[in-house]
Amino acid sequence: MGSRADDIRRRMEKRKRERERLERKSKPPQRNLPETEELYGFDKLPSYDAGPGEGNHPLFKKEVFLLKILTSACLVLVVAILFRSETERAEPIKGFVKTNLESEFQFAAVSDWYQDQFGKPLALLPVNEQQKEEVPESTNNTHYALPASGKILEDFGDNGQKITIETGKDAPVEAMSEGLVRFVGTKEGFGKTVIIQHADKSESWYGNLADFDVNVYEYISKGASVGTASAANDDEKGSFYFAIKKGDDFVDPIGVIKFE
């Protein structure tokens, strides 16, 4: 009985091997065709497509992305709860958040640090190549240029914010130092105004302009034209406002720049 069962088992294994041999003979040989890149002499480009059962894209991790979104949502929720709270413990945190949200980001200072470290301006703050060629390389940025030649009509002490400079008709108004144009528009008490943020965190204001030659977030060089002075009452001369702001206070420009 046992020998017959063994004989049946051997015949079944023999038929199985025969079937596998016939399948291998009937199946055509598989040829590895070259990819499109290889046909033209290039190396095969790597593919980052994840197949079934494979991991995430190597340049994008879904778990990290979701964690960042969740963390951001939690942070916004916590800040919202703190601002609705009336407890005294929350007041220092409220003040810290308000100060950071209301303060201006120092783009010009960051650009100056980046240029000192890496030798080129930050890509987000493009430099006008034509203006860059006009300014000599030996110019020291610690020395300020006069916005325009003319005489002072109104001193800083008359208003505590600005001085009024008389110029020729349609005279260009130039930037006293390189920096980032932070504002282009109308300011109360200044009229049409351009505000430039400099690397030392100070700002120069040029008001009472007839037109503008710069755009917001444009990085300009020292001596670049920011606009044109407005015509005076006699229509033979021009004038503009000039102010320097450090922190929250305006300072006397005559103490910073030497006027003739």
Structure tokens that stand for 128 in this block: 């006008």
Q: How sure is the predictor about 108, in pLDDT bands with cuts at 50, 70 and 90?
A: low
pLDDT at 44: 57
Quickly list DSSP for 1-44: -HHHHHHHHHHHHHHHHHHHHHHHHHSPPP--PPPHHHHTTPPP
Q: How sure is the predictor about 141, in pLDDT bands with cuts at 50, 70 and 90?
A: very low
Please write down the long-range contacts of 13-18, taking CB distance under 8 Å and 24 or more positions apart: none
Task: Please provide the average confidence, as pLDDT, over all residues in the chain.
Answer: 77
Backbone angles phi, psi at 187, to 5 degrees: -120, 140
The CA–CA distances, whole Å, from 187 to 46, 114, 148, 191, 207 equal 55, 31, 21, 5, 8
Question: Mean pLDDT, to the nearest integer, of 73-82?
Answer: 85
Question: Mean pLDDT, to the nearest integer, of 81-91?
Answer: 80
Distance CA 152, CA 165 (A): 5
pTM tops 0.85:
no
> Residue 86 corresponds to which amino acid?
E
User: Is the pLDDT score of 140 beyond 60?
Assistant: no
pLDDT at 139: 39
User: Is the pLDDT score of 54 beyond 70?
Assistant: no
Q: What is the pLDDT of residues 208-239, one digit of tens each?
A: 999 999 999 899 999 999 999 998 777 788 99
CATH architecture for the domain at 131-255? Distorted Sandwich (2.70)
Question: Mean pLDDT, to the nearest integer, of 84-94?
Answer: 80
Q: How many residues are recorded in the chain?
A: 260
Distance CA 7, CA 225 (A): 103
Please state, as a whole number, how many other Cβ atoms lie within 10 Å of the Cβ of residue 197: 23
pLDDT at 136: 43
pLDDT at 131: 45
* Cβ pair 105, 122 in contact under 8 A: no
